[in-house]
Amino acid sequence: MKTLIIAAHPDLGVSQANRALIDAVKGEQGIFVHDLYAEYPDWNIDVAREHRLLTEHDRIVLQFPFYWYSTPPLLKKWFDDVILSGWAYGPGGYRLKGKEFMVATTAGGTEKSFQAGGDNWYAMSEYLKPIQGTINKCSGVFLPPFVVYDANRADGSRLQQEGRRYAEHIRMPYRVLVH
């Protein structure tokens, strides 16, 4: 299985948590890391290249820090520019049909804070519904997300552990993830 990780961190080089996740899979066969902010510092997204990357891979991982209950702005622009009617959905839009999509995100809050009644009011799965809805609209398969909670307070040892857990999660077969 060919996996595309679309990393959308505004400064991946200084990120401890997102960098640990990328470091855990870097160089692995069948995994391609695509850093949006490094690739498009001018925010001019090469739509044809993005379409080619999406069609060449079986599983797409959207990796980003969870910002104000959403994605970083370049990832939102990526969705707007790349996921097009007639290509990804709508009449003639079949190119993402059956592709597996997964969110991998890092959150500053604890897992308990992302539960109904917690400090953030809702579960992480509820905050990810717009992405899930987009993938569903494109006839893609939305897989269970990978979340690192309390990422701001994680030390190096815990981040290495999360990196190993991440590498295992994104390689896990569909039938195991959705049992």
Mean pLDDT per 10-residue segment, the chain (179 residues) = 96 91 93 97 98 98 94 97 97 96 93 88 94 97 95 91 95 86
Tokens read off for 168: 């295992």
Tens of pLDDT along 128-174?
999 999 999 999 999 999 999 989 888 989 999 999 999 999 998 88
At residue 12, the pLDDT reads 85
Helix (H) or strand (E) holding 35: strand 31-35
At residue 173, the pLDDT reads 87
**What does the alpha-carbon distance between residue 53 and residue 33 come to, in Å, rounded to a whole number?**
11
Residue closest to 132 by CA, chosen among 166, 99, 102: 102
At residue 27, the pLDDT reads 87
Domain locations along the chain:
3-177
Strands 59-65 and 146-148, by their bridges, are unpaired
At residue 93, the pLDDT reads 95
Rg of the chain on CA atoms, in Å: 16
Where does residue 56 rank: exposed (0-12), middle (13-18), buried (19+ CB within 10 A)? Answer: exposed
**What does the alpha-carbon distance between residue 147 and residue 151 come to, in Å, rounded to a whole number?**
9
**What does the alpha-carbon distance between residue 149 and residue 114 come to, in Å, rounded to a whole number?**
9
Domain 3-177 architecture: 3-Layer(aba) Sandwich (3.40)
At residue 100, the pLDDT reads 97
Helix (H) or strand (E) holding 25: helix 17-25
At residue 13, the pLDDT reads 87
For residue 102, what are the β-bridge partners? 61
